[in-house]
Structure 1
């Protein structure tokens, strides 16, 4: 590991969005809106939060200030505003691939809403908790069925077989959703009044 890479790892805040931006811009120069479109097209918005429109712009500014991306070109088409495309620098490629390795290797403390709400489940009446968990179960089952059907349709539409490495995040999400559904069923069976 080079000294510069070690410095970058401590100076630049790692995030899933920053990693995705660096890796996508290493594959092809894009403008910020194009980055968001690509993340959505490739279903990466399921694992990288791009719901806030300014998030990509702020991430690009931060990465550019750090020397991890640079301007590829700025063009104007007809009467449209200028559009600047960016690309990842060699330092950015090295750092982003180091981040991938670290994220795969080391479990991180993540703070999703659902476990936080579960930790305060006793703050609401049991009947309300059961109703809320029933609703979550129904929604989760619908979402999983739609996700599986959509994924299967997209894979079936491909002309060439897809290397399983490109579906590993989808498989993980389906497995986690299936596990949560099974867990919800068990908890509801334990929480619901017996009659």
Structure 2
């Protein structure tokens, strides 16, 4: 029953993605992430990992530059997970904390055409915010920033085949349940250097 529901959920997600792309092809909407009215991505589910994490799943309709202002790049995101450490699981830390993980493709060539089929290495990693500095308490720096800049810390190499939403989320669950997969890697690790191979 669980596998059937997951398969059905995967089909619904694919249908919504294709429908959104069709609307974009008729110029009814835009998939540009920098457009406040754009529909670059959509929420496709929510997962709870015991009483520790609440995970929201988002899928990008087309491969999107990891940092939206990059006109030409080699790193594209296809999924994002907002991982919230529930306050009830760690009351001593006070306010709940949210971290961001991504499914990205390291393209073999630099391109500004995000509609092109991605060819490269897929990996899951954490988004580390660079600008504005999250430690900076000056609210003006946040107000004046049009788009936050993040760095991608690769954690799990998935090979050259794009995984499904379910497969990628299962891999993220493995990362969340094994903290050593994050602590054992440097911040500037290369997504092309595998840490754990996806089966």
| TM-score for both structures, normalised by structure 1 | 0.21
The structure where helix makes up a greater share of residues is: 1
The structure where strand makes up a greater share of residues is: 2
Larger Rg: 1
| TM-score for both structures, normalised by structure 2 | 0.20
